[in-house]
Amino acid sequence: MRIVATGDTHVTKLLELPTRLIELMDEADLVIHTGDFVSNELLEEIEKRYNLLAVYGNSDDEKVKRKLKQTEKIRVNDVWIGVVHRGNYLNNFDDLGYKAKELGVNLLIFGHIHRFVLENFGDVIVLSPGSPTKPRQSVASCAIIDVKGSKVEVKFEIIDDIYCGMDVELK
């Protein structure tokens, strides 16, 4: 199964997302969003077009927060996947590894930090897909996840030449 994980989109409409992200989501079996849609309109557009598993983020409006949960969990083949917006991390992501174990998942996908992270904690994978629109200390990104049986392959996908939330033009 092919999954596109994204989050921290911070736009109000689907067509405000980068074209490359929309193309990738069109090819996916499942889209996972880690929150911060910002608008109910974007959530509804994505729900209509894609098979979506999502949580709300700290920047989401009340309509989005009423529709979505803070934590989600799904089984894909032989892999349990958890989704949260943010953990209680300070300087490292160890607590997210513990959160994954608490949820009983093999892969925990989280957002809020607007940059790509991929860490192993023993038999647990912790992943932040980054942000396709407002990256921080990173490039605009998402994650492509292929699940085959109990095997998980994660690929970092650069979406656009946006750095730290700004378009960069070198002269």
What share of the chain in percent tops pLDDT 70? 90
User: Which of residues 160 and 149 earns the better pLDDT score?
Assistant: 149
Residue 89 lies in a domain: yes
Residue 169 located in a structural domain:
no
- Outline where the chain has alpha helix (H): 19-27, 40-49, 62-67, 94-103
Supply 27's token pair. 């090819």
Number of domains in the chain: 1
pLDDT > 70? residue 163: no
Asked if the structure places residue 98 within a domain, the reply is: yes
Tokens of 77: 């083949």
Amino acid at 127: L
Answer whether residue 168 is part of any domain.
Answer: no
pLDDT in tens, 28-78: 999 999 999 999 999 999 999 999 999 999 999 999 999 999 999 999 999
For residue 130, give the CATH number of its domain: 3.60.21.10
Instruction: Evaluate whether residue 170 is within a structural domain.
Output: no
Q: How far apart are CA 50 and CA 153, in angstroms?
A: 21
**Long-range CB contacts for residues 65-74, cutoff 8 Å, separation at least 24:** 67/40, 67/43, 68/35, 68/43, 71/103, 73/103, 73/104, 73/105
Could you list the residue range(s) of the whole structural domain that residue 114 is in? 2-163
Confidence at residue 164, expressed as pLDDT on a 0 to 100 scale: 60
pLDDT class for 138, splitting at 50, 70, 90?
A: confident
